[in-house]
Structure 1
Amino acid sequence: MVTITVTRKSQSFVAPSELTPSEMLELSAIDRVPGLRHTVRSLHVFRHKDAADRVASRPAEVIRAALSRALVDYRPFAGRFVGSVVAGETCVECTNDGAWFVEAVADCSLDDMNGLDYPLMVSEEELLPAPEEGVDPTSIPVMMQVTEFACGGFVVGLIAVHTLADGLGAAQFINAISELARGMDKPTVTPVWARGLIPNPPKLPLGPPPSFQSFGFGHFAMDVTSDRIAHVKAEYFQATGQYCSAFDVAIAKVWQARTRAVRYNPEVEVHVCFFANTRHLLTQVLPKDGGFYGNCFYPVTVTATAGDLAVAGLLDVIRMIRDGKARLPLEFAKWTSGDVKVDPYELTFEHNVLFVSDWTRLGFLEADYGWGAPSHIIPFTYADYMAVAVLGAPPVPKKGTRIMTQCVEEKHLMDFKDEMKALF
């Protein structure tokens, strides 16, 4: 067993490379959702690749300098949150205080750690940035740690507060840093704040506070080959004359496998909830050239009884998922006009709700700081009060979809694995 030591060499705030205006910026109605005031954590793994113009440069130094430059245009990431989270009145004060940045080294190669693939041979906490003692991590919009390995590879540990950006927005920011790190004069995409363009329907009365019961869900991850996904997609097209996506296939299977493994009473309603991008529904108001990096999504929930879901064919479950996606434009339009009785953004964290996050198309896999794109990304969007499934990509050169879950207790884990492997 390899003994691995990660040493943090320095840690400090990185301010914008130029002084930026100090002002208070209002967040959108979606940004201000109290449930978004949490951190999203991930590890971005970069294998060593020859880069002639980077031989004399260290990744941490290059990325730190690029981060400082990126914060000029993305100045809210260098600011601080102010105002009440509970009342939904949070704002961002552009203070130029900076983003938290940590430089670290590991005394081994990435090969010694199996390329940082599952199961991890070192705690993710060693590779993720931690603020100074007593500092609330949700008060700092973004924190980064660059850990350099003896092989020349490195890992970027990223912690971002969801209040300021959704997955697409956070990836846009990271790609801006990577482009500046590669020597570009300015990022390809010009960032746009424009939070006032997001619909702001009348506030509904606050419901009861959500419960945060710890369920003790266990981790399980598996890779599904592209061929297997393609086979199911072909079956669906043959049966319905319609296309479906890898997302539809994977999530339908996880939802059904979980329901079967837990053995809910047949009459119990079970739900799957995923967060659909709504930028395409706001093309009339959002900038045509893109660049908006705030939260712009809608929670789509699909519901069935446990009995019906357990006995349904997989193609029928896929159809349920696609029907839910088809309802998105109407449901989002109703919310924007205030034609809802219950706030769809007020989520409930019950045992019978499966939350889904898709990391395959956000843009993180394209971030290249000068040493090539990441070999893979490990998201940690887990909380012990949420049943979750995360879709990602397996490490290069593998193809297909990686399904990472924390959605059943240990007593149901073997049955869940068997249900998943029955198809994949």
Structure 2
Amino acid sequence: MHRGNKSEISSFPFSFPQAAASYDDILPQIIPSIAGMPTVAKSPPALISPAGPTPSGTLPLSSIDKTLGGLVNLIQVFPPSSLSAAHDGQGAAAAVAAMCMGFARALVPYYPVAGRISPSGLAVDCTGEGVWFVEAAAGCTLADVDGLECCPLLIPGELLLPRPPPGEKLDGLILMAQATRFACGGFAVGISFSHAVFDGQGAAQFLRTVGELARGLPTPSVAPVWGRDAIPDPPSPPPPQLTEFRFVNQVADISAESIERVKDEVKQAAGEGCSTFDAVTAVVFKCRALALAAALPDDAEVRVGFAAGTRHLLRGVLPAVDGYYGNCVYLASVACTGRAVRESPLAVLVGAVREAKEAVAAGFADWMRGVDRYDVLLDYSTAILSDWSRLGFDEVDYGFGVPSYVFPHNDHVDFVPALNYVSPPAPRRGGGGIRVVLRCVEEPHAAVLAAELAKFA
């Protein structure tokens, strides 16, 4: 079979918290521990406004933006060694002040981010208000909470995420940030961004710009592009009927050796290689089908959907592809009976994943012409995955080095079974492999899923 181009599988008057001489002198809001968990002290949220004049007015969101929404949460972990090496003893307060300055400067070229999503949800009002920023301090070291690498977390993830002051509506916000310093000198930076304005690649692009400007670069290395009105506006599908679930948080590491073993199996069966994404997706698809075996009839469909990046398919449509930070994705899917997934060799499942990827270009073209192809059923049988390992969140440097680990924290999403691929925590990252962050099964199926995935650790 001919293998064409694959889809990529996938953002001077200002106000921010004043740097304090010591973290002991600030952060009066104490968030109590839960069952002996560490405390976190937070400063009141403060607005970081653009560092210069910005345009006003209203900018429409794209038809893809409008199908998405809600806040996406992620946490970046910066060990103390990266902070001290990057700042030569300047101190945590100076590091946070520089990061705030980076946000303020980034909000000039990215001026829509300083606005608010309109009440209709169809546009951004460029108000120039800014983004909410919180300083915080944790009463423990990163080592005390296993570097935030374990699951469940040893400190409630919500304590590491920003929240606005009372009265600010969450559904209008575009981005918030929180910098939490640990007693060892390390940091966790929690980011909440609106999926209606950014996709993952776009949000990472914005945060890389914040880091560049925080480190003193005069301009962003990539100029931002809005360009939402260039994307076609076909009829919207009806909203899906969703059921609320009680997902279990899990983490599984798929080793480089296991990935190579699957690739070798595919090479022997098909005479050609496959990508890491293909191999890992086949593994998690099979493992989840095995976990659901007792809950579904053999002939019931199980599905895995994934957001395929489509920027390369919009060259000549967008004013510029490089720099575009809006949603540029198309939902592809693989569907088979549960029995077929359980009994098929991984090489066969890899082939199904590759066929779904190859169908993206035609499906996306049909969607742009008004043919509705967003037909993935969003129920317990369907897991939706996102590949965060190549988006660039782990390349962001606010001035204290790149993070040792980045992971999503979206425990509020209880309607769609979700899988996220992330880079393993450093130093294991250099050895390859993929970490899978899972919220895709309920308690009765969690132990079997963990046991099956452990075979690939």
SS across alignment from 1:218 = coil
The reply to whether residue 359 of structure 1 matches residue 388 of structure 2 is: yes
2:353 corresponds to 1:312:
no
Match of 1:372 among 401, 411, 414: 401
Distance, in Å, in 1 between the alignment partners of 2:376 and 2:194 is: 18
Question: Counterpart in 1 of 2:64?
Answer: 30
Please state how far the C-alpha of 1:319 moved relative to its aligned partner. 0.8
User: Are the counterparts in 1 of residues 423 and 435 from structure 2 also a CA contact under 8 Å?
Assistant: yes
Per the TM alignment, residue 423 of structure 1 is displaced from its structure 2 partner at its CA by 3.9
Cα deviation 1:216-264 (Å, max 9, x = unaligned)? 2212211122122122112212221222122111121111211122122
Matched, 1:51 2:85: yes
Deviation by residue 1:16-72 (Cα, 9 ceiling, x = unmatched) = 011211111011111111xx1211001000012233645224332111111011000
Q: Is the 8 A contact 2:45 2:133 kept in 1?
A: yes
Code of the residue aligned with 1:256 in structure 2: it is K
Output the TM-score relative to the length of structure 2: 0.86
Query: Which one is further off, 212-221 or 169-178?
Result: 212-221
Kept in 1, the 8 Å contact 2:119–2:172? The answer is no
Counting only pairs closer than 5 Å after superposition, residues 202-351 of structure 1 correspond to structure 2 as: 203-204=235-236, 206-207=237-238, 209-263=239-293, 264-287=296-319, 290-338=322-370, 340=371, 342=372, 344=374, 348-351=377-380
d(CA) in 2 for partners of 1:188, 1:238: 43
The alignment partner of 2:347 has SS state of helix
Extract structure 1 runs of 4+ deviating beyond 6 A. Answer: none
| Partner deviation per Cα, 1:191-216 (whole Å, 9 max, x = no partner) | 01111222223x15x52x43332222
Partner of 2:191: 158
Deviation larger for 378-387 or 189-198: 378-387
What are the Cα deviations for residues 63-90 of structure 1, in whole angstroms up to 9, with x where unaligned?
Answer: 11110110001111110111424xxxx1
> After the TM superposition, which residues 142-181 of structure 1 pair with which residues of structure 2 at under 5 Å, given as runs?
142-181=175-214
Aligned-CA RMSD value: 1.8
Aligned length: 412
* Structure 1 unmatched ranges of 5 or more: none
1:327 positional shift = 0.5
Alpha carbons 1:211, 1:348 under 8 Å: kept: no
Deviation string 1:122-151 (CA, Å, 9 cap, x unpaired) is: 101110001222433221100000011222
1:93 equivalent in alignment to 2:128:
no
TM-score between both structures, scaled by the size of structure 1: 0.93
Write the distance in 2 (CA, Å) between the matches of 1:71 and 1:54.
27
Displacement, 1:288?
5.0
How far the C-alpha of 1:2 sits from its partner, in A, is 7.3
**Counterpart among 226, 231, 254 of residue 198 in structure 1:** 231
Contact 1:54/1:370 (8 A) holds in 2: no
1:385 equivalent in structure 2:
415
How big is each residue's C-alpha offset from its partner over 1:389-415, in whole Å with a ceiling of 9 and x where there is no partner? 111112100132101111122111222
Among 63, 73, 98, which residue is 1:41 paired with? 73
Query: Which residue in 1 is equivalent to 2:22?
Result: none
Q: Contact 2:383–2:417 (CA<8 Å) still a contact in 1?
A: yes
1:96-107 map, 5 Å: 96-107=128-139
